[in-house]
Amino acid sequence: MTNQPNLPMRGAWALRVFACFAFGYFLSYAFRSVNAVIAPELMQDLNISNSQLGLLSAAYFIGFSTMQIPLGVALDKFGARRTESVLLLIALIGAITFAYAETLLGLTVGRLLIGVGVSACLMASFTAYRRWFAIEQQGQLASAMLVFGTMGALVTTVPVQLALPHIGWRGVFWVTALLVALSFIAIRFGLPTFDDHPKSNNQDTSGEEKSFSLKDILRHSFFIRMLPIGIVNHGGFLSLQTLWIGPWMIQVLGYDPEQSAQILFLFNGVMLLGYAFNAWFIPRANSKGYKTLNYIKWLLAVGLVAQFFAITLTTQYSWLLWILLAVTATGHILGQSTVITVFPTRNAGIASTSYNLLIFVGAFIFQWGIGWGIDLLTAAGIEKPDAFRQVFFAFLILQVISYIWFLFYPKPLKHHLMGS
């Protein structure tokens, strides 16, 4: 590539870079969410229990989270283009493995490989954006990425439900394998090459001299503040969005799979609109002195209230409370992008992946743990709808505790609001 962009990026180059990354993250989110719709077919075809389904779905998060620290090192050493393109080849192998699999083990291996393969799709973009774009654009770019990610989640609801009778869940994964191949081409040949050796060039435009080790990052006061809501609130929400909200609609509220898919489509559609609003709102609010952390604080608070009533009320319209949760959950990605801006651009890779690791550890714990808890309670003689409610309520209590930590530890939130 002979023509390289000037920094910070603007215009056609900025759109090109964003499009390449956004397509990859679209696929990453689709892989993450698809099991929520194909779950009934998987459970029927392979006689899978709730806990086995949770573990199968969580294999994605195991692969994803295991890669985060090595990924951060690779991004800081080899750059976004080379790192993500290599990993996408692993995702391609995983999708093909899943499509071919005849056993639970085969499905689990395929999903694990997919998790490894798409582990860079968001973090590579965040790392590149931190290096290539102005710092005031970071929240806007993060929200815009989530617009496309949520489109991936949308595609895995009603469209996948409509496709299942014709191509089956195996056919769905053959289609995703083809799309991953296209994403590999876009990343490998569509991104600039100057970042292939980020530590040896001078692309750090921030003027910051200090470099942070992994230990420094993990001990930073702001990282510590954000840690519990990353693991419990953000990670736990992913477990709901990508798996357990669908079964809740069927087992607790009594909807059939088609109706559940329609609600999930609306759920993700509302999230998409929320991310689009944030991409528009955050730069304008920041320019007038309103802090992103304050916005996150109120979004999370409303989300906790929405979950309380969604769990305790099972009326005809209580599913609307889950839609409200979708709106408030858009604050999670803002928290993630805010963590990255605290650290120098040269450490953007390891800082972003360290926090992302914690999020996906939480997603794995709650995706498997919720299924385990439901099976445990039903085995004790509790009706399945009541088992769902009790497990979801326990999860809500953990979220409230982590939110209180966010507000007050190690210092009251106003300490970081004044310093941000």
CATH of the domain at 239: 1.20.1250.20
Burial of 317 (0-12, 13-18, 19+ CB in 10 A): exposed
The verdict on residue 5 lying in a domain is no
For residue 28, what pLDDT is reported? Answer: 93
**Cα–Cα distance for residue pair 303/146, rounded to 1 Å:** 18
For residue 196, what pLDDT is reported? Answer: 58
Q: Taking each helix axis from N to C terminus, what angle separates 50-66 and 68-78, rounded to the nearest 10 degrees?
A: 30
| Token duo for residue 393 | 């309520």
**Cα–Cα distance for residue pair 148/186, rounded to 1 Å:** 16
**Cα–Cα distance for residue pair 191/188, rounded to 1 Å:** 7
For residue 68, what pLDDT is reported? Answer: 87
Considering Cα of 6, then 9, then 11, then 16, what sign does the dihedral take?
positive
Ramachandran class of 159: left when φ > 0, alpha when ψ lies in -120 to 50, beta otherwise: alpha
**Cα–Cα distance for residue pair 327/175, rounded to 1 Å:** 30
| Token duo for residue 22 | 């956004």
**Cα–Cα distance for residue pair 306/402, rounded to 1 Å:** 17
How many distinct structural domains can be found in the chain? 1
Considering Cα of 358, then 182, then 153, then 93, what sign does the dihedral take?
negative
**Cα–Cα distance for residue pair 377/400, rounded to 1 Å:** 23
Q: How many CB atoms lie within 10 A of CB 37?
A: 25
Residue pair 158/246 in contact by the 8 Å Cβ criterion: no
The verdict on residue 1 lying in a domain is no
For residue 131, what pLDDT is reported? Answer: 81
The verdict on residue 205 lying in a domain is no
Distance spanning both ends of the chain, measured CA to CA: 38
For residue 275, what pLDDT is reported? Answer: 87
**Cα–Cα distance for residue pair 31/280, rounded to 1 Å:** 27
Q: How many CB atoms lie within 10 A of CB 14?
A: 17
The verdict on residue 3 lying in a domain is no
Residue pair 80/128 in contact by the 8 Å Cβ criterion: yes
Whole-Å CA distances, 177 to 106, 113, 166: 16, 12, 18
The verdict on residue 269 lying in a domain is yes
- CA–CA–CA angle 358, 218, 9 (5° rounding): 80
**Cα–Cα distance for residue pair 57/42, rounded to 1 Å:** 11
Residue pair 84/187 in contact by the 8 Å Cβ criterion: yes
| Token duo for residue 97 | 């493995």
Cis peptide before 198 (omega within 30 of 0): no
Residue pair 326/267 in contact by the 8 Å Cβ criterion: yes
The verdict on residue 255 lying in a domain is yes
For residue 206, what pLDDT is reported? Answer: 45
| Token duo for residue 111 | 């999903």
Using alpha carbons, select from 414, 129, 171 the residue that is nearest to residue 297.
414
- For residues 354, 356, 358 and 362, what is the CA-based torsion angle, rounded to 10 degrees? -170
For residue 385, give its domain range. Answer: 11-199+210-419
User: Tokens 């099976």 identify what position?
Assistant: 375
- For residues 257, 259, 260 and 265, what is the CA-based torsion angle, rounded to 10 degrees? 130
Q: How many CB atoms lie within 10 A of CB 305?
A: 13
| Token duo for residue 306 | 């929405």
- Average pLDDT across each block of 10 residues of the chain; the chain has 420 residues. List them in order: 65 88 94 84 83 83 88 87 95 95 91 95 88 78 86 86 90 95 94 66 49 84 91 93 88 89 88 88 84 90 96 88 94 83 79 86 89 94 96 97 90 58
The verdict on residue 36 lying in a domain is yes
Burial of 344 (0-12, 13-18, 19+ CB in 10 A): middle
For 2, residues 6+ apart whose C-beta sits below 8 A from its C-beta are none
